[in-house]
């Protein structure tokens, strides 16, 4: 069974989706309060469906918090039509954005597609022997813990979470909360130190004028 965490303050909307997905052996657990959702053991679930307009905490803040602490695919589902919300959500680390109202069949298709891709990414991580253990705040290379400074850890963690995709310098500085870099030059120094600690099989590519991409 697929277990999905949903943070949605419209209980009727959540119930309708839950009833539909149940026929596909997908269980949806919804929390109307984002704080309760965040304390529900996010890591126990296979995927998060997240509304943006929530009581007490904006959904984009919830997204940022989840991405920072957990390795779980996120689909943002919102009636907010502002393009900037969609762009910000994806930049923060959400994997998909489905505007409301939507057909439950489309949500089901996106869930299946995302979980398929997510599984493939994790298989590739295992294949290339660079794995992230967020619970222990460790990154393993060939099953051995890498000796990393705090700044190196958060930068490499972000690159692993976005493996194969370009991560902008601004996103690294923003998402990792490592403002002590001070400049792109300082970030470049950390990237070079990471390259020295990894073998040639693990490539951190510089995307000129944009940022960095973790390749295997």
Tens-digit pLDDT profile for residues 149-169: 888 998 999 898 888 788 888
Q: What is the pLDDT of residues 86-122, one digit of tens each?
A: 899 999 999 999 999 899 999 999 999 999 888 765 6
Q: Which residues contact 102 (CB under 8 A, 6 or more apart)?
A: 77
Domain housing 170: 128-215
Whether residues 93 and 144 fall in one domain? no
Query: CA 214, CA 216: separation in Å to the nearest integer?
Result: 7
For residue 142, the domain's CATH number is: 1.10.10.10
Query: CA 87, CA 82: separation in Å to the nearest integer?
Result: 9
Whether residues 182 and 139 fall in one domain? yes
Q: Is the Cα dihedral 68, 4, 100, 95 positive or negative?
A: positive
Whether residues 97 and 143 fall in one domain? no
Whether residues 114 and 138 fall in one domain? no
Whether residues 97 and 171 fall in one domain? no
> Quick count: other Cβ atoms within 10 Å of Cβ 148?
19
Residue where one domain finishes, among candidates 91, 123, 155: 123
Q: What is the pLDDT of residues 43-54, one digit of tens each?
A: 899 999 999 999
Whether residues 92 and 8 fall in one domain? yes
What average pLDDT does range 189-212 have in this prediction?
A: 86
Whether residues 21 and 116 fall in one domain? yes
Q: Which residue has the tokens 């403002």?
A: 179
Report the number of distinct structural domains present in the chain: 2
Whether residues 62 and 17 fall in one domain? yes
Residue where one domain finishes, among candidates 101, 123, 145: 123
Q: Which residues contact 125 (CB under 8 A, 6 or more apart)?
A: 131, 132, 160, 163
Q: Is the Cα dihedral 99, 100, 105, 111 positive or negative?
A: positive
């Amino acid at each position: 069974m697929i277990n999905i965490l949903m943070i949605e303050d419209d209980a009727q909307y959540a119930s309708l989706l839950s009833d539909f997905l149940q026929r596909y052996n997908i269980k949806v657990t919804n929390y109307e309060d984002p704080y309760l959702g965040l304390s529900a053991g996010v890591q126990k679930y296979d995927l998060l469906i997240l509304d943006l307009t929530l009581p007490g905490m904006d959904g984009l803040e919830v997204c940022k918090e989840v991405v920072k602490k957990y390795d779980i695919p996120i689909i943002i589902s919102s009636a907010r039509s502002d393009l900037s919300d969609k762009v910000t959500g994806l930049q923060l680390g959400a994997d998909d954005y489905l505007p409301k109202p939507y057909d439950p069949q489309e949500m089901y298709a996106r869930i299946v597609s995302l979980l398929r891709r997510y599984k493939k990414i994790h298989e590739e991580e295992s294949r290339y022997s660079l794995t992230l253990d967020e619970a222990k705040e460790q990154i393993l290379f060939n099953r051995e813990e890498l000796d990393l400074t705090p700044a190196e850890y958060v930068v490499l963690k972000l690159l692993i979470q976005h493996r194969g995709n370009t991560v902008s310098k601004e996103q690294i500085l923003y998402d990792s909360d490592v403002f002590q870099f001070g400049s792109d030059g300082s970030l470049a120094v950390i990237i070079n130190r990471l390259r020295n600690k990894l073998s040639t099989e693990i490539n951190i590519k510089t995307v000129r004028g944009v940022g960095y991409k973790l390749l295997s």
